[in-house]
Amino acid sequence: MSKLDAKLLIVDDDEDVLLAAKMFLRQHIQVVHTDPNPDNIPMLLKNNSYDMMLLDMNFSRDATSGKEGFHWLNKILEIDPAIAVILITAYGDIELAVQGVKEGATNFLLKPWDNKKLLATITTTLENQRSRKELQDLRTKQKFLMEQGDQPYSHIIGESEAMISVLSTVQKVARTDANVLILGENGTGKEVIARALHRASPRKDEVFVSVDLGAISETLFESELFGYKKGAFTDAREDRAGRFETASKGTIFLDEIGNLTPALQSKLLSVIQNRKIVRLGSSKEISVDVRLVCATNMPLYQMVDEGKFRQDLLYRINTVEITLPPLRERQDDIPLLVNHFLDVYCKKYKIPKKKLHTNTLKRLEKHNWPGNIRELQHSVERAVIMSDSHTLQPNDFFLSSQQDKKGRTLPEDATNLEETEKMLIRKVVDKHGGNISKAAKELGITRASLYRRIEKYEL
């Protein structure tokens, strides 16, 4: 019979009880620690991560009130709210034991106990505890699925030679668990490719968790990616799973990975190597099973040469590399993309389908699109909103004819895009009476993304 994968602590002032319990339980449980002194409990919980604890109710000679037991029960649950505590008492005081359960204990045992009953109680408690954790994890994953489900990444659009090559690689790599690094300029569709890899993989029915590392400060990195225990810091009011834990069995997409500082690169490398995380404020390792997809628009190889990015981390994340072409190198796809965005936004804003004048399409194909597909998308959305005509003319797109020697439009164009986004967000939020959830859903972004934009534009 295999041992239960659990770590148990028994605290009782009766050395004979501790010895007998340890001799019996270590045959059935992986780790069993004992201690006769309750004053050692805080230190033991700090240095170890126990799944369960057996706690005596009375430690002073001839004491029967259980007052000491309640004191330590409350202390234990303050330190580790997730631990299962089974109270033990030698006096058969059922009312005392029931009161203990009301105050947070998981169960109780009466001394002297029968070994079979002891093992059955421990086994049942562990199963219930793990079922609760699985339910909590499931709810967290469902929340991510709901938030991510409406994102506008349903399919990849492109028939150009450059995109056919990309799609061929995606098809080959998707069915494996190889780590993938996606390179490309801003707006080229790196997250679209990451989601395509997930949808075509054996993990497609599990959660896809997207993390914008560029939006996470260094102080929040560990709590966001690895989670935290209640009380780990001032606002940690409950246990919370991090992004890696939430993505377990699914795919985690780490965007803007080139923005990580060397210290954070080291922490990430450790998790990728060991496939284990430790929640902030805990010492317990949690195994994670994730498909890792990373992306950046930064020159990682140059950064390695300059000592700004760890070479060993780069080797870990780029088993396979996919480089996305900028829109200016796949102009054959512009008509397809424009038509797709016209369908999306005319339907979204309940406007009869608009079409392009021939000269408009020629103008769009000649534009350099420094913001790539994202810029094209915003331009089409803006034209749909602002134009009263059924046929869109070149001037409906506000494209700048001025470009620098590198082929990038001057900042005025970016300013127009930001103003359009600002106007659109205000319009949709007002439409839903300030309801952020409904506004985010209509805009096709997460609540967190919408909050960031509202703060950015001071709306």
Supply 174's token pair.
């998707």
Tens digit of each residue's pLDDT (9 = 90 or more) over 339-381: 999 999 999 999 999 999 989 999 999 999 999 999 999 999 9
Supply 166's token pair.
């990309």
Tens digit of each residue's pLDDT (9 = 90 or more) over 304-338: 999 999 999 999 999 999 999 999 999 999 999 99
Whether 61 shows a pLDDT value over 90: the answer reads no
Supply 280's token pair.
């902030």
Report the chain's mean pLDDT, rounded to a whole number.
85
Contact (Cβ atoms closer than 8 angstroms) between residue 317 and residue 310: no
Specify the pLDDT at position 412.
41
If one compares 315 and 66, the residue with the highest pLDDT of the two is 315
Name which of 349, 444, 426 is nearest 387 in CA terms.
349
Q: Is the CATH code 3.40.50.620 the one for domain 4-132?
A: no
Contact (Cβ atoms closer than 8 angstroms) between residue 303 and residue 309: yes
Whether 10 shows a pLDDT value over 90: the answer reads yes
pLDDT band at 211 (very low <50, low <70, confident <90, very high): very high
Alpha-carbon distances of 143 from 30, 72, 157, 208, 291, rounded to whole Å: 34, 35, 28, 11, 19
Name which of 227, 144, 107 is nearest 447 in CA terms.
144
Sorted by sequence, the CB contacts under 8 Å of residue 352 that are 6+ apart come out as 346, 390
Specify the pLDDT at position 139.
62
At the top level of CATH, the class of 328-457 is mainly alpha
If one compares 239 and 415, the residue with the highest pLDDT of the two is 239
Contact (Cβ atoms closer than 8 angstroms) between residue 221 and residue 212: no
Q: Where are the beta strands (DSSP E) in 111-201?
A: 180-183
Whether 402 shows a pLDDT value over 60: the answer reads no
Residues in the chain: 459
Beta-bridge partner residues of 253: 210, 293
Specify the pLDDT at position 110.
81
Question: Which range is most confident: 42-51, 97-106, 228-237, 375-384?
Answer: 375-384
Two domains, one topology: 4-132 and 150-325? yes
Specify the pLDDT at position 341.
94
Tens digit of each residue's pLDDT (9 = 90 or more) over 260-273: 999 999 999 999 99
End-to-end C-alpha distance for the chain, whole angstroms:
63
User: What are phi and psi for residue 296, nearest 5 degrees?
Assistant: -165, 155
Average pLDDT rounded to a whole number, residues 124-148: 68
pLDDT band at 141 (very low <50, low <70, confident <90, very high): low
Specify the pLDDT at position 403.
43
Whether 421 shows a pLDDT value over 90: the answer reads no
Contact (Cβ atoms closer than 8 angstroms) between residue 298 and residue 258: yes
Cα–Cα distance, 12 to 43 (Å, whole number): 16
Average pLDDT rounded to a whole number, residues 446-457: 79
User: What are phi and psi for residue 108, nearest 5 degrees?
Assistant: -145, 155
Contact (Cβ atoms closer than 8 angstroms) between residue 456 and residue 422: no
Domain boundaries, the chain: 4-132, 150-325, 328-457
Whether 146 shows a pLDDT value over 70: the answer reads no
What would the CATH number be for the domain defined by 150-325?
3.40.50.300
If one compares 50 and 293, the residue with the highest pLDDT of the two is 293
Contact (Cβ atoms closer than 8 angstroms) between residue 182 and residue 295: yes
Sorted by sequence, the CB contacts under 8 Å of residue 214 that are 6+ apart come out as 255, 256, 259
Long-range contacts, stretch 274-278, CB < 8 angstroms, 24+ apart: 277/225, 277/226, 277/227, 277/242, 277/244, 277/245, 278/226
Cα–Cα distance, 148 to 212 (Å, whole number): 14
Average pLDDT rounded to a whole number, residues 158-168: 90
Least confident segment among 127-136, 192-201, 255-264, 347-356: 127-136
- How much of the chain exceeds pLDDT 70, in percent? 88
Alpha-carbon distances of 458 from 28, 37, 425, 449, 450, rounded to whole Å: 60, 57, 11, 14, 12
- How much of the chain exceeds pLDDT 90, in percent? 48
Specify the pLDDT at position 1.
61
Average pLDDT rounded to a whole number, residues 58-83: 76
Q: What is the dihedral of CA 204, 254, 338, 370, to 10 degrees?
A: -160
Specify the pLDDT at position 459.
75
pLDDT band at 99 (very low <50, low <70, confident <90, very high): confident
If one compares 140 and 403, the residue with the highest pLDDT of the two is 140
Name which of 223, 264, 219 is nearest 243 in CA terms.
223
Cα–Cα distance, 420 to 416 (Å, whole number): 6
Amino acid at 123: T
Q: Where are the beta strands (DSSP E) in 320-386?
A: 320-323, 355-356
Whether 414 shows a pLDDT value over 70: the answer reads no
Alpha-carbon distances of 100 from 36, 56, 67, 79, rounded to whole Å: 20, 11, 10, 17
Specify the pLDDT at position 264.
95
Cα–Cα distance, 180 to 203 (Å, whole number): 15
Name which of 239, 253, 243 is nearest 222 in CA terms.
243
Tens digit of each residue's pLDDT (9 = 90 or more) over 107-122: 888 888 888 888 998 9
Cα–Cα distance, 42 to 377 (Å, whole number): 56
Cα–Cα distance, 188 to 459 (Å, whole number): 28
Specify the pLDDT at position 440.
81
Whether 138 shows a pLDDT value over 70: the answer reads no
Supply 451's token pair.
């909050």
Q: Dihedral of CA 76/77/78/79: which sign?
A: positive
